[in-house]
Amino acid sequence: MISANMAALQVAVPLIGAPLCTLIGRGTRAWLFATLVTWFAFAMSIGLLVEVMQNGAFSYYMGNWPAPWGIEYRVDHLSAFVLLFITGIASVVMLFAYNSVENEIAADKHRLFYTAYLLTLAGLLGMAITGDAFNAFVFMEISSLSGYVLISLGRDRRALFASYQYLVLGTIGATFFVIGIGLLYMATGTLNLADLATRLPRLGENFVVFAGFVFLMVGLSLKVALFPLHLWLPNAYTYAPSMVSALLAASATKVGVYLFLRFLFDVFGIRFIIDTWPLAEIFMALAIIAAVMGSLVAITQINVKRLLAYSSIAQIGYIVLGISFVNLTGLTGAVVHLFNHALMKGVMFLAIGSVLMRVGGTRFVHIRGLGKRMPMTMAAFVIAGLSMIGVPGTVGFVSKWYLVLAAIERGLWPVAIIVMATSLMAVVYVWRVVEAAYFAEPEANHEIAEAPWPMVTATWILAIACILFGLTTDLTIGVAQSAAVMLLGGGQ
Amino acid sequence: MTISEFPPGLILVLGALLLPFADNRIRPILVLGLPLLTLAMVWRLPDGAFAVVPILDYELVLVRSDALSRLFAIIFSIMTFAGGLFALNQKRVMELVAVFVYAGSAIGVVLSGDLLSLFFFWEAMALASTLVVLSVGSDLSYRVSMRYLLVHIFGGALLLMGIVVHVFETGSTTFAAMEPSSLGAILILAGFLVNAGAPPLSAWLSDAYPEASYSGTVFLSAFTTKAAVYVLLRGFPGTEILIFVGIFMIFYGIIYALLENDMRRILAYSIVNQVGFMVTGIGIGTEMAMNGVAAHAFTHIIYKALLLMSAGAVLYMTGKRKCTDLGGLFQSMPLTTICGIVGALSISSFPLTSGFISKSMISQAAADEALIVVWFLLLAASAGVFLHAGIKFPWFVFFQKDSGLRPPDPPWNMRLAMILFAGLCIGLGIWPEFLYAMLPFPVDYVPYTVPHVVNMLQLLLFSGFAFFLLLPLMKRTLTITLDFDWLGRRLGKNLAIGVGNAIDTAWRSLLSGLQGGIMNVLDHMYRSHGPRGVLSRAWPIGSTVMWIAVLLTVYLLVIYN
């Protein structure tokens, strides 16, 4: 009865796979095992999405304990979509990982690396699927702790410090999150999200609940790296191993946004919140600052990986901006941008990972003249760059289109113009890379070969997806729209 | 989508990507074959909309085929073929790739049935044409191409904003005639006009085009401005303001071309001038005017390319581009001279050339609508065109004093390309009915009437006289190396020049001011946002904790109020 238990297997397989991975052996075997587990998880997520699209949302009760008492796994359009792209990106990244990890991480640490990776994956998937607040916290801790380990394994010694900073801040964020949950538990006596949603309105104006809400929001803002709580992100992304940067950029912050959406719309009910407090305006202001500041800082960076990290901060800004419009179009744009941004940032981090492997660095001096030496890798980077700018025919355009449209629907002309202006900034930072790669002469004259084929293949799978989902939007927009309808409807 | 419905522009765009991988034997086949294939596909297109791709809630119509769009697509394909023939000796493959993407996107623009695909091809055209200039590889071409890109990104941004607003206002992405009364349509019009070389941003054209290679300029002259003419024709026929914009462009082009010394820059100014005629015609907006504009765009592409080919041939053989360094070339380059003269006569609308049968339709449209002032201005401008392009260019390049240069005619392929276009110029002049049959509206216009021909000949005769009478005056400009400081010194001496100058100076200072301003802002921002700046410094723990406290306080304050 695999189909009935898919929801449980989705998380359980990577979770149990992690300790098995240490036992199973070193090097190639560990990689192979982790890859198979990831692909299995991908297959499960496809199954879940198909199930949801056919029969609507459903729940799975752990150990057959019914909802408010046991742990509930809740699969609806939103969570299935998030599960799908996390496992999808992870599957591609694993293809990339073999050569990349071989190159960047000492051989005796490989199996520990893959173990930590599986734990991270299990944590991220758990956060996305669970319908239980405390369970979400547990999974958040699983993914974060193993994430710190992954980052600290970076080749650069600064990775250790970056990981330590992230650990301190991540722990603060998680603590705030658990304080928030604790306060909610105190007031309502339940941890189940759906149950919370029904009980909270009955309490009326309850300051314990309000405080819980604030703690949750601040904790999650840190997890998603929303300005001004983004400071942990650049170092973590810059110094982490290549495949970890790609994985975290594509998934970790996205799951944070997912929880953000869940609590804001499902649990508390967005109407209640925006009618009572000017929160949407605060989020919008922070999002705009994040988009502008992130893009500006990205322009001035000398390290491409760091540039990408700041660009991620700007993109988080777009996502939160879409949420802050609180209308169907904006929310659709935000949800679809979770996916679209994961794709394009994935390509860029993978491409730059290939550069790191072949050239030995990721600063602008290292990519000079690579357009000729590593044509496939750089071409993929350019495609993702065009998408980042929002050129029609790429996924980036789809997201920007919805964001701008949502801004106009709300009559917020200046916001629409700011979104377009930040696209121009993206032109500048993408162009800097293109200029260095295609128009500058290489520094040293030694031979640089194209990256090994699995890495190129992985990069190109995502690059092609960037174009494919930019042209055929039925799946992404369709699911995102259903998710947005559900979020807006569920809060009333 | 069947094969025959494949968007023809994409053949060139995709084919361009093959060029770097083809060796020297296969490349000529591609360069000549792809445009012919495109031409065949365009020729066979029936009326209707094809290659419809649904995206988001809208539909991309990649091919909207009717008489007007086919006319432009046909001349663009012919142009690509002849230009490709002319450019066969071009060693920089990068330029060929850029040119083919550029031509393919231009065809994509004129065939687009909706605003989204139009915008996509529009931007592709801007990027590819920038690469055409950039591919020269010199420092100057780099700076020029960046200026060029800046203007076109600005135009593209206007267009995009316009499209978004328009779609929001009307709910439809279809590209059809619109009234410039709503914000969206006004922004779209502004975006189109930037590419047409309209004031106040006319200077990008003469700034960038002469800096491309001998073959690159030939292509540049054809696509960007004429694609803009097409979209204006389709989107804003009968918009009165375009009459004024067009007339301004006509005289701007003439005055500047008369003052110019660089042979290809003379021709670049004359593009602004000729597009001015077309924009004026669009502003008039009657069926006669629209036919005239379409026909004039068709013939203009041919003779302007012919003129630039002859100038390109001179540049290719001598390496010189200033009128003062050239002269007397008719002795050793007879064919180039003849072709140059045919082009010059066409642009001056000499009877029996293609210019005569097309430009006169626009004048006729003005007369039909009783726009007397416009009609007189167009007439005066015709004389001016003869002065700057019809006589000045061939006279100073091929005749006047003997410069001592004795280069032979260019290689066979360049000769063939020139002969082809010279033949088209004369052929269309003698048998205009072929062109008239392709126009969007039925034509009941007879160009060759006695008064009309006599009128034109008188006009040309007298402006020819004027040229040689004023020759000493004209020559004086030649003793000075024309540069922008020269323009500065003449300011105030001549009002007409003064007006033009003021605009030019304003443009320059705007550019430099913009650069300075941007630099200042950038410096400032670099201090705060740069790698060492406050906002990107790596001391996250302390400051994040502070920010957490701040946010928590703010939220709590907000909530407990």
Compute the nearest-CA separation of B398 from chain A (Å).
38
Q: What is the mean pLDDT of residues A136-143?
A: 93
Taking CA–CA distances from A413, the nearest residue in chain B reads B165
Taking CA–CA distances from A410, the nearest residue in chain B reads B168
Per-residue model confidence (pLDDT) at position B272: 92
Indicate if A388 and A478 belong to the same structural domain. yes
Residues of B in contact with A169 (CB under 8 A): 540-541, 544-545
Query: For chain A, first and last CA: distance in Å?
Result: 36
Place of tokens 């443009």: B507
Domain that holds residue A170: 1-268
Place of tokens 């201090």: B527
Indicate if A215 and A289 belong to the same structural domain. no
Indicate if A234 and A337 belong to the same structural domain. no
Compute the nearest-CA separation of A79 from chain B (Å).
22
Compute the nearest-CA separation of B10 from chain A (Å).
14
Taking CA–CA distances from A222, the nearest residue in chain B reads B548
Q: What is the mean pLDDT of residues A225-236?
A: 85
Nearest to A169 among B541, B552, B558 (CB): B541
Indicate if A259 and A281 belong to the same structural domain. no
Indicate if A188 and A103 belong to the same structural domain. yes
Contact B153 A398 (CB under 8 A): no
The domain boundary residue, chosen from A224, A248, A268: A268
Q: What percent of chain A has pLDDT over 70?
A: 97
Indicate if A223 and A284 belong to the same structural domain. no
Q: Mark which residues 138-167 of A lie under 8 Å from B by CB.
A: 165
In total, how many domains does chain A have?
2
Q: What is the mean pLDDT of residues A463-477?
A: 86
Of A446-450, A469-473, A481-485, B438-442, minimum mean pLDDT range: A446-450
Task: Kindly list the residues of chain B whose beta carbon comes within 8 Å of any beta carbon in chain A.
Answer: 53, 55-56, 116-117, 119-120, 123, 153, 157, 160-161, 164-165, 168, 525-526, 529-531, 533, 535-536, 538-541, 543-545, 547-548, 550-552, 554-556, 558-560
Of A89-93, A434-438, B9-13, B125-129, minimum mean pLDDT range: A434-438
Is the pLDDT at B197 greater than 70? The verdict is yes
Taking CA–CA distances from A274, the nearest residue in chain B reads B559
Indicate if A471 and A327 belong to the same structural domain. yes
Compute the nearest-CA separation of B135 from chain A (Å).
10
Is the pLDDT at B479 greater than 50? The verdict is no
Contact B548 A176 (CB under 8 A): yes
Indicate if A450 and A470 belong to the same structural domain. yes
Is the pLDDT at B2 greater than 80? The verdict is no
Query: For chain B, first and last CA: distance in Å?
Result: 62
Contact B120 A168 (CB under 8 A): no
Q: What is the pTM of this model?
A: 0.68
Q: Mark which residues 299-338 of A lie under 8 Å from B by CB.
A: 299-302, 310
The domain boundary residue, chosen from A268, A295, A324: A268
Indicate if A334 and A208 belong to the same structural domain. no
Q: Distance (Å, rounded) from C-alpha A465 to C-alpha B283? A: 45
3-state class (DSSP) for residue A130: strand
Average predicted confidence (pLDDT) for chain B: 84
Contact A296 B55 (CB under 8 A): no
| CA proximity to B192, closest of B150, B233, B132, B240 | B233
Per-residue model confidence (pLDDT) at position B522: 62
Tell me the β-bridge partners of A75: A58
Indicate if A234 and A373 belong to the same structural domain. no
Contact A420 B161 (CB under 8 A): yes
* C-alpha distance from residue A471 to each of A340, A398, A402, A474, A477 (Å): 12, 9, 15, 9, 11
pLDDT band at B477 (very low <50, low <70, confident <90, very high): low
Q: What is the mean pLDDT of residues A364-378?
A: 83
Instruction: Return the amino acid letter for B89.
Output: N
* pLDDT tens-place string over residues A378-427: 889 999 998 988 888 888 888 988 898 888 888 888 888 888 888 888 88
Is the pLDDT at B544 greater than 50? The verdict is yes
Of A51-55, A135-139, A162-166, B542-546, minimum mean pLDDT range: B542-546
Contact A404 B164 (CB under 8 A): yes
* pLDDT tens-place string over residues B105-162: 999 999 998 998 999 899 999 999 999 998 888 888 888 888 888 888 888 888 988 8
Q: What is the mean pLDDT of residues B464-486?
A: 60
Contact A214 B160 (CB under 8 A): no
Indicate if A340 and A435 belong to the same structural domain. yes
Instruction: Return the amino acid letter for B348.
Output: S
Per-residue model confidence (pLDDT) at position B474: 67
Indicate if A172 and A78 belong to the same structural domain. yes
3-state class (DSSP) for residue A363: strand
Taking CA–CA distances from A296, the nearest residue in chain B reads B529
Nearest to B530 among A176, A231, A300 (CB): A300
Residues with Cβ < 8 Å from A389, sequence gap 6 or more?
Answer: A396, A423, A426, A427, A430
Contact B544 A229 (CB under 8 A): yes
Instruction: Find which of B112, B135, B528, B547 to mutate to test the A interface (most A CBs within 10 Å of its CB).
Output: B547
3-state class (DSSP) for residue A73: strand
Contact A383, A343 (CB under 8 A): no
The domain boundary residue, chosen from A222, A243, A268: A268
Residues of B in contact with A148 (CB under 8 A): none
Q: What is the mean pLDDT of residues A298-324?
A: 90
pLDDT band at B271 (very low <50, low <70, confident <90, very high): very high
Is the pLDDT at A139 greater than 90? The verdict is yes
